[in-house]
């Protein structure tokens, strides 16, 4: 069956391959869970429609979620996230530190379309958070990795490679841990 599917996909230059799951967002969350990390609070900055938080709830169902999204048309969808508090607005004017109550038990995910560096740089509590997931366009990769290293983080997982229409890689998501 796999050969048949690959023959069909080959016509358009694609190939079906098995992955271990480690190079996915779900794999990164499973990694944290396997390491014994059990966040009580998860901040989803750039929450969009809440899909990421709903996926994270499968790994961390008991956590409380704060979903920050600047586009108000997502509010109805975000309110469907269990144990979720919805904040409509942009991180920056809304400071990251104002959302963090117990930094040692917080997981932070930021997908701010390139606006992550000033938000992270302004945080006094960032270096106390055990794990951070960042969207990293290649144009900001070095800067984001240096900022996180300065705050005591190491790269634990790189996953979810994104490609543009010509097939070039444009960004990755990175799990940083202290």
Residue 18 has pLDDT above 80, yes or no: no
Q: Quote the pTM value.
A: 0.86
Q: Is 2 within the bounds of a domain?
A: no
Mean pLDDT of 21-38: 89
The reported pLDDT for the residue numbered 161 is 84
The residues, ordered by sequence, that sit 6+ positions from 13 with a Cβ below 8 Å of its Cβ are: none
Residue 87 lies in domain? 20-177
Does 59 fall in a domain? yes
Residue 9 domain flag:
no
Q: Does residue 124 fall inside a structural domain? A: yes
Domain count, the chain: 1
Answer yes or no: is 169 within a domain: yes
User: 118 in a domain, yes or no?
Assistant: yes
As a whole number, the mean pLDDT across the chain is 90
Which CATH number does the domain housing residue 26 bear?
Answer: 3.40.50.150
From 7-16, 78-87, 140-149, the region with the lowest mean pLDDT: 7-16
In this structure, which long-range contacts are made by residues 98-105, counting pairs with CB atoms below 8 Å and at least 24 apart in sequence?
99/43, 99/66, 99/68, 100/41, 100/43, 100/125, 100/129, 101/41, 102/40, 102/41, 103/128, 103/129, 104/128, 104/129, 104/130, 105/38, 105/39, 105/40, 105/41, 105/130
Residue 8 lies in a domain: no
Domain annotation covers residue 6: no
Q: What distances in angstroms separate CA 159 from CA 81, 113, 116, 152, one per listed residue? A: 24, 17, 18, 21
pLDDT for 73 = 97
Confidence of residue 2 (pLDDT cuts 50, 70, 90): low
pLDDT at 78: 95
Q: Are the beta carbons of 73 and 57 closer than 8 angstroms?
A: no
């Amino acid at each position: 069956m796999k050969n048949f599917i690959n023959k069909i996909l080959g016509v358009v230059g694609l190939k079906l391959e098995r992955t271990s799951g480690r190079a996915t967002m779900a794999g990164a969350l499973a990694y944290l869970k396997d390491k014994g990390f059990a966040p009580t609070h998860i901040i989803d900055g750039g929450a969009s429609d809440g899909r990421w938080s709903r996926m994270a709830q499968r790994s961390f169902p008991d956590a409380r979620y704060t979903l920050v999204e600047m586009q108000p048309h997502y509010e109805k969808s975000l309110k469907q996230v269990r144990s979720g508090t919805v904040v409509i607005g942009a991180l920056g004017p809304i400071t990251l530190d104002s959302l963090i109550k117990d930094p040692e038990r917080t997981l932070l995910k930021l997908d701010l379309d390139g606006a992550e560096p000033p938000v992270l740089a302004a945080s006094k509590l960032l270096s106390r958070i055990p794990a951070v997931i960042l969207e990293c366009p290649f144009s900001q990769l070095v800067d984001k990795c240096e900022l996180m290293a300065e705050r005591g983080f190491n790269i634990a997982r790189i996953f979810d490679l994104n490609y543009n229409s010509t097939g070039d890689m444009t960004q990755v998501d990175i799990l940083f841990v202290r």
